[in-house]
Amino acid sequence: MSARKGRTQARSAARLAAVQALYQQEMEGTPMARLLDEFHRHRLGATIEDVAYADAEVAFFDDVVRGVDARRDEIDTRIAARLGKGWNLARLDRPMRAILRAGAYELIARADVPTASVISEYVDVADAFYDRRETGFVNGLLDAVAKDVRA
């Protein structure tokens, strides 16, 4: 496996884990330090119920989770501005909020990651949880956020 492909897979695993961590944080209110420690020690690259999780790029995982936490108000404002009439963040289920927040964070704060890569990766994450309609929603909403934050 090439180093580039390995890095891409490690980033993909980090994004999926970040969405799971953000979901857990919203569900349980887990303090950030404990949340990161739990994922570092028990989830990233672990085998759980005979499923081996890919090694994730830990620094990237940490950046996304911490970044969403630190900039949640800004991120939520960007997402809410792109929701359809009559919709707000509270109407979205928690996994969808976690996916959109993580993707929006990368679009806002990680200029080193190409827009198309961010959107494609979070569409793939959404595909693990949802049907085609919802993955299209993630694609459209993150594309709209990208147009707002990346000129």
Domain boundaries along the sequence of the chain: 3-149
Phi and psi dihedrals of 51, rounded to 5? -110, 120
Q: What is the pLDDT of residue 104?
A: 98
Contact of 42 with 88, CB cutoff 8 Å: no
Alpha-carbon gap, residue 111 to 150, rounded angstroms: 8
Instruction: Look up the pTM and report it.
Output: 0.90
- What pLDDT sits at residue 89? 92
47: β partners: 52
User: Which of 48-56's residues contact partners 24+ apart within 8 Å by CB, and which partners?
Assistant: 53/13, 53/17, 54/9, 54/10, 54/12, 54/13, 55/10, 55/13, 56/10, 56/11, 56/13, 56/14, 56/16, 56/17
Report the chain (151 residues): mean pLDDT per 10 consecutive residues: 64 92 93 92 66 74 96 96 90 95 98 96 93 91 96 74
The pLDDT value given to residue 48: 52
Q: Which CATH architecture has domain 3-149?
A: Orthogonal Bundle (1.10)
The predicted pLDDT at position 7 comes to: 63
The count of residues in the chain is 151
pLDDT of residue 129: 87
pLDDT for the residue 78: 96
